[in-house]
Amino acid sequence: MNKIQLIIQREFLTRVKKKTFIIMTIIGPLLMGSIFILPILLANSGDKAVKIEVVDETGVYGKKFPYDSLLQFTVTNRTIDEAKRKFKEEDYFGILLIQQHASTNLPVLTILHGQSQPSMKVMMTVQNTVAGKLEELAGCDPKMLADIKGKLDIKTESIGGEKTNAGVTTGVGYISGIIIYFFIFLYGVQVMTGVIEEKTNRIIEVIISSVKPFQLMMGKIIGISLVGLLQFLLWIILTFGIYFGVSTITSRQKMDRISSESVMKQRMKALQQANGAVVEEDNGSQMAEDITAAIENLPVKLIIGCFLFYFLGGYLLYAALFAAIGSAIDSEADKQQFMFPVSLPLVLSMVVSSSIVLNPNGTTAVFFSLFPLTSPICMMMRLPFGGVPAWQIATSMGLLILGFLAATWLAAKIYRVGILMYGKKVNYREIARWLKY
């Protein structure tokens, strides 16, 4: 068997057999889930009431909106311009604007919001309330109702007037960015500890008398990337397994929890005699449909393709750098001073991500999504918003490949010398000298 294959095999198998791998595989989805679910739960159970001003130009739907301790819709007689002007002085979360569509007679719903985007709960309440009124008007034909609801699209805009994308777009960007970030850190650091282990166990010289140091380094990097990919795959399977398992069992309770109780009561009242159950289910599937629709609007193929590319490219680039660090240091204690400059661009990508999301095609976003050390995360933040020119994607990918080659070249030079250095306090000048060896 090819020697590099042997190394990959060993790196892969020894890690996959470890207990920590199995534990991480199980805990991962729970951890990830809680990272994303917790804020939603916290937002929903927030004790501050969300106040929304309703500007109903049709005059039909306004009165139907609920007013309870958590969600307070207030119908005013202002025009939308007045409301916008007064918005800053008053403590409203946002303005719901209801207009009549010129041709279909259906209401056109727009939520103008301040700093934060409306939560799923607000959107659901608005949609359900309007749908409820429509039912009254249209009679209780459930089929027609479903049809109408499908067309009830809620636009969101910030008060400033610029269109924002709803949570899904930002979510996809953030989630893929965060996954790449964690993957690079978790598995890049494993490469580093693997190299340190070989050094401290003093086995390194035994091995490099059989294979080239470069083969050992690449074997380790590839082997560990396979561990990461397997773990990632298992996480996806497990997460979906858990998600679908749990959602089938508890879909009913879950729907109750998600949609506002008052809305449910109101809707139940309105639909009591007729097919309440049917509509209630309809309500659940409607949300799923919304999300699916939102995802379908994204450039899915591009995102998945790019995700895989940046996911692997970013990992390979950083893993090479981490391998170089591992070879240069003698003990865990020296790790910090070299970890810092390598982690810096990664942390920076996360820091600028918020400004990228605000302005996905601005100068900051373009720069950081081209620079190879930050592009894996920053480009993934931009892509879901669309409108990234093809040349930028191509340049970013090309630079990442070049960055990877440069990092591997550099790392190989440092690694070759570093692994044979014992008991020497290493500094940057020393490492720079190794490049010339």
Partner 1 sequence: MNILNIENITKNYAAHTALDDVSMDIPEKSVFGLLGPNGAGKTSLIRIINQITAPDKGRIIFNGQMLEPKHTEMIGYMPEERGLYKKMEVGEQALYLAQLKGLSRQEATKRLKYWFEKFELQSWWKKKVEELSKGMQQKIQFIVTVIHEPKLLIMDEPFSGFDPINAILIRDEMLELKAKGSTIILSTHRMESVEALCTHIALINKSKKILDGSVKDIRKEFKSDTYEIVYEGLSIGFANALWAGYELHDSKEEDGLMKARVKLLNGNTANDLLGSLLPHVKIHSFVEVIPSMEDIFIMKVSEGETKGNGQTIKQ
**3-state secondary structure labels for all residues of the chain:** CCHHHHHHHHHHHHHHCCHHHHHHHHHHHHHHHHHHHHHHHHHHCCCCCEEEEEEECCCCCHHHCCECCCEEEEECCCCHHHHHHHHCCCCCCEEEEEEECCCCCCEEEEEEECCCCCCHHHHHHHHHHHHHHHHHHHCCCHHHHHHHHHHCCEEEEECCCCECCCHHHHHHHHHHHHHHHHHHHHHHHHHHHHHHHHHHCCCHHHHHCCCCHHHHHHHHHHHHHHHHHHHHHHHHHHHHHHHHHHHHHHHHHHHHHHCCHHHHHHHHHHHCCCCHHHHHHHHHHHHHHHHHHHHHHCCHHHHHHHHHHHHHHHHHHHHHHHHHHHHHCCCHHHHHHHHHHHHHHHHHHHHHHHHHHHCCCCHHHHHHHHCCCCHHHHHHHHHHHCCCCHHHHHHHHHHHHHHHHHHHHHHHHHHHHHCCCCCCCCCHHHHHHHCCC
The least CB distance from residue 10 to partner 1, in Å, is 5
Closest CB to partner 1 among residues 326, 384: 326
Binding partner 1 by CB under 8 A: which of 45, 103, 209, 272?
Answer: 209
Site for partner 1 in 6-45 (CB under 8 A): 6-7, 10, 14
Binding partner 1 by CB under 8 A: which of 184, 195, 208, 329?
Answer: 208
The least CB distance from residue 28 to partner 1, in Å, is 22
The least CB distance from residue 436 to partner 1, in Å, is 6
The least CB distance from residue 337 to partner 1, in Å, is 21
Q: Starting from the edge strand earliest in sequence, which strands make up the sheet with 50-56, in order?
A: 71-75, 50-56, 94-100, 107-113, 154-158
Closest CB to partner 1 among residues 210, 364: 210
Q: Is 412 near partner 1 (CB under 8 A)?
A: no
Closest CB to partner 1 among residues 19, 48: 19
Q: Is 212 near partner 1 (CB under 8 A)?
A: yes
The least CB distance from residue 205 to partner 1, in Å, is 4
Q: Residue 410 to residues 49, 180, 222, 395, 422: CA-CA distances in angstroms?
A: 56, 23, 17, 22, 20
The least CB distance from residue 7 to partner 1, in Å, is 8
Q: How do 107-113 and 154-158 pair as beta strands?
A: parallel
Closest CB to partner 1 among residues 116, 200: 200
- The residue range among 30-38, 150-158, 205-213, 241-249 that interacts with partner 1, by the rule CB under 8 A, is 205-213
Closest CB to partner 1 among residues 55, 208: 208
Binding partner 1 by CB under 8 A: which of 203, 237, 293, 308?
Answer: 203
Q: Is 433 near partner 1 (CB under 8 A)?
A: yes
Binding partner 1 by CB under 8 A: which of 210, 336, 354, 364?
Answer: 210
Binding partner 1 by CB under 8 A: which of 207, 291, 302, 410?
Answer: 207
The least CB distance from residue 410 to partner 1, in Å, is 17
Q: Is 427 near partner 1 (CB under 8 A)?
A: no
Binding partner 1 by CB under 8 A: which of 206, 233, 347, 358?
Answer: 206
Site for partner 1 in 327-356 (CB under 8 A): none
- The residue range among 30-38, 160-168, 209-217, 378-386 that interacts with partner 1, by the rule CB under 8 A, is 209-217
Q: Is 205 near partner 1 (CB under 8 A)?
A: yes
Site for partner 1 in 141-200 (CB under 8 A): 197-198
Interface residue list for partner 1 (CB under 8 A): 1, 3, 6-7, 10, 14, 197-198, 201-213, 420, 422, 433, 436-437
